[in-house]
Amino acid sequence: MAVNRRRYRVLFIHPGPVPPSITERRNVLFHLSRMSHGDLVTTRWSSEDDDTRRPAEGRFQVLGGFRYHAMIASSSGFLRPLRTFLYFSVKGVLLSLSGGRYDAIVTYGPFIPSIAGLVVSRLTGTPLIIDVPGHPTKGYRYSSDMGSRLRAWAAGWLAPAVLRRADLLKLLYPAQLDGLPGAIWPKSVVFHDFAPLSLIEREDGPAHVESHGDYLLFLGSPWFLKGVDILIRAFNAISDKFPSVSLLVVGHCPDRSWFEELAAKNPRITFRAGVPHEEAMRLVAGCRALVLPSRTEGMGRVLLEAMAARKPIVATRVDGIPTYVEDGENGLLFDPEDVGDLAAKLELLLTDDKLAERLAEGGFSRVFEEFSEERYVEHFERMLRNLVRV
């Protein structure tokens, strides 16, 4: 006898402002629609056709089983956070009153979306899940300007105050809140972020170094937080030994003059601005190896994408990365900010083709077994089931 699957009603409150993909396999809401439905409240950038549309039409209205509600985000202004908070709070309450009580509210990050989520949760009696994308304050430690110091101070007291009022925390790795001041945390679950791995082009058979391009690839931003300067120095240290190998650095960087200065004497280091996801995945598919030298990192979605493309990876032994990369099995790890260690790991990978192939195969096997879209939906459904307990 078939058992009817429970469909949970969920309110997502996300910061935006990038509109979500309407491609079903690329958007997490389409995948979650198999076991849930509800609403997404967010912000988005304005578009050229906004003036020609009626307010009810929006940008698009339905993403799988979820209705899409977005406030157009202003580009700047000190009132923007307040305006966003009020929109999230009021819209969440109105949706709950008009459509019936949600089984859960899921917010992203410990700041404005989750503060609004707390308001909606308390007014409607709905359990609140906060999805924590990384360490709430660690990223601010690597900037010395006054604005970053003020944000770090504010985050240091605000994040714990918000997180400990949630009903459940969704984390990327077990020690994610270590070092954050606070009392006893709510119960938590640990699983990966969603990544559309089934869309990534990959070789049909075992990885072979000869079929790879002759470039190491970095993909991401912001560059200092992601350790691009560490990578440039490490590549400079070994590049004379590998004259056919180049380094390609891709990502958004408002001012890359310092990084260009570090690389000025090495013609085999190339910089490119950020590219659309499809093009980024083509670069991953063609690289010799992917390198992520981050100073802090919750998970590193690009690491999962590289594994899915059967590429060896080198990454920092920091934060959540060791949860997803086992040194010597599906990648190589180096000590944080250690240029010499990174150079040694790159040299090892470039001189040992069998190791590179074994790491690529190890990552390919593990990523689809443990971190696929299907596994994400399973984890998410289990999280809701354990929270709602119906």
Non-local CB neighbours of 196 within 8 Å, separated by 6+ positions: 25, 26, 373
- At 157-183, the pLDDT tens digits run 889 999 999 999 999 999 999 988 876
Tell me the CA distances in angstroms from 319 to 110, 133, 139, 222, 307, one per residue in order.
18, 12, 11, 17, 19
What is the percent of the chain with per-residue pLDDT over 90, rounded to a whole number? 73
- Choose among 363, 342, 141: nearest CA to 228: 342
Phi, psi of 51 (to 5 degrees): -70, -20
Task: Give the pLDDT score at 47.
Answer: 65
Three-class SS of residue 315?
strand
The predicted pLDDT at position 203 comes to: 58
pLDDT in tens, 189-246: 999 999 999 988 765 555 554 556 799 999 999 999 999 999 999 999 999 999 999 9
The fold for domain 197-370 equals Rossmann fold (3.40.50)
Neighbours of 275 (CB within 10 A): 15
Superfamily of domain 8-195+372-388: Glycogen Phosphorylase B; (3.40.50.2000)
> E-strand spans in 81-233?
104-108, 128-131, 168-171, 188-190, 215-219
The reported pTM is 0.91
The tokens for 388 are: 């709602």
Q: Please give the DSSP secondary-structure letter assigned to residue 34.
A: T
pLDDT along the chain (390 residues), means of 10: 72 88 89 96 75 52 91 76 94 93 96 97 97 88 68 80 96 93 87 94 57 86 96 98 97 95 95 94 96 96 97 97 97 98 98 97 96 97 88
pLDDT of residue 171: 98
Q: Provide CATH 3.40.50.2000 ranges for the chain.
A: 8-195+372-388, 197-370
* CB 141 within 8 Å of CB 155: no
